[in-house]
Amino acid sequence: MPRPANDVQAFEAQAQDAELDELRARLAAARLPEAETVQGAAPGPRRWDQGVPLADLVDVVDYWRTGYDWRSFEARLDRIGQFRTTIDSLGIHFLHRPSARADATPLVLTHGWPGSIAEFVHVVEDLADPDDTDAPAFHVVVPSLPGFGYSDKPATTGWGTEKIAAAWVELMGRLGYDRFLAHGGDWGGNITTVLGGRFPEHVLGIHTTFADGPPGLTTEGLTAEERGWAEQTRDFYAGPRGAYAKQQATRPQTIGYSLVDSPVGLLAWILDKFAEWSDTEDSPFETISRDRVLDDVTLYWLTRSGASAARIYYESHASMDPDLRVDVPAAITMYPRDIEKCPRPWAEQRYRQLVRWTTPERGGHFPSLEVPEYFVDDLRAGLAAVLAAQSTWDRN
């Protein structure tokens, strides 16, 4: 098992009691608007037409104030193992759970927005030390993106996806992992694609739930379902549903004041995305518990990272290099209710060695939280296919 380099320091998450008391006081004193004018609509997507319904928000705020236990989440982070290191003058926080298995492969998991390391906390153990000895095992590393969680907040521009990917290579090297696998979704999928395309000497292969084909491809020859995917993705970003991305790409500082100052505002901004992007008919809590959502939101709150996390859109929105190609083996999973789905023929134009393509029956933008058992099994299968292809590639 590799040992961390000297410039990697152990870290413990420990919010002050006064911070948690202040959070509860702010929640108790929250000023809320009147109910939405579509209230009374039957359960279903239309109930959320104007955003988070007042009754739902009041219920979650009350639970956050009186029932949610942040300390249990802190304890789970500490059990996994937390560390920090400095790369390009920026402190990077990460979880590191080495496997007990001698045949384990290093794996970096990268989250997106409005996610965080909380997306992966509850699957790390299964990936590192599976009960099934025939299942692949991994030395799992889960970094917090710059500006997210316990990583430092960049004080200058420049921390886009290309720089983050290079930082991950440096991070994995410091842990003794010169060659490794990578997985990610949302911004993490973008970064994972950059890792595979820019650093094939270090990246054995990738698995992603976010595939981005080169621009300008035609819909000619696509199936009806694939054309539907392309149209849905185009409409998402061109229409009102993509307004959050335009706001954060152009004015992250403006929305950031509300996200850092108001816990209810932060909760509503994030909960809206959990609702709209999950594979549910009405509430995100059909598949994701309130505790899992509040782990994520509370991490944003305590680290005051609402503005700094939003800036990843300013740094990187629509910035994927159109000429970037991924030649290392790649596995891609397109969950049915994700907000962006790429037709396979388009994906194959960027991911040149696509060894596994999966379209599950269930799941949305947050599969590790929505369908965790399937997510782990699918990730294992995808990475096993990647490793098999990489072994053949190395022999040739």
CA-only gyration radius of the chain, Å: 20
- Active-site option among 150, 244, 313, 335: 313
Beta strand 8-11 with 82-87: parallel, antiparallel or unpaired?
antiparallel
| 105-110/180-184 β-pairing | parallel
Entry field: residues in the chain: 396
Query: 96: exposed, middle or buried (C-beta count within 10 Å: 0-12, 13-18, 19+)?
Result: buried
Among 341, 364, 347, CA closest to 235: 341
313 is catalytic: yes
Q: 96, 111, 139, 365: which one is catalytic?
A: 365
Instruction: Map residue 24 onto helix, strand or coil.
Output: helix
Active site annotation includes 186: yes
* Known catalytic residue at 317: no
**Residues 227/216, Cβ–Cβ less than 8 Å:** no
Q: Considering 126, 129, 186, 212, which one is annotated as catalytic? A: 186
Q: Choose among 318, 331, 59: nearest CA to 190.
A: 318
Q: Do residues 85 and 7 touch, judged by C-beta distance below 8 A? A: yes
- C-alpha dihedral over 43, 45, 51, 55, to 10 degrees? 10
What separation in angstroms does the CA of 25 have from each of 34, 299, 302, 387?
21, 17, 14, 51
Active site residues: 186, 313, 365
